[in-house]
Structure 1
């Protein structure tokens, strides 16, 4: 059950990131995520995650809140 919840959260995080990247540049989003989170975000990292070319990630609460605030 916890595994399924984690997978659902990762899918939701990826969907949220995708929505933000439709509006903003990857480099800009990565820069902001680096400021609030503890992950080493880069344009390449975001690109690989969105395209399924790396292991799924889970956003921290601060990262998730930042992305939600960026949506119109």
Structure 2
């Protein structure tokens, strides 16, 4: 899996359907066909980045989810 923001492969799983990019500090949540993207602030709060990533940039959520699950072993 690659980060949709910085394209780094340094992604960690932080919870069910939740992933974190250690390179650019964004959190990605995938539930069903919906992908939500958040920036983690210094105080630990999160700010939505969904308005920056249109559906075309994110790609097919089902394809993204397949990539994530195929990377788990």
Settle same-fold status: TM greater than 0.5: no
Structure number with the higher strand fraction is: 2
Going by fraction, where is helix more abundant, 1 or 2? 1
TM-score (norm. length: structure 1): 0.30
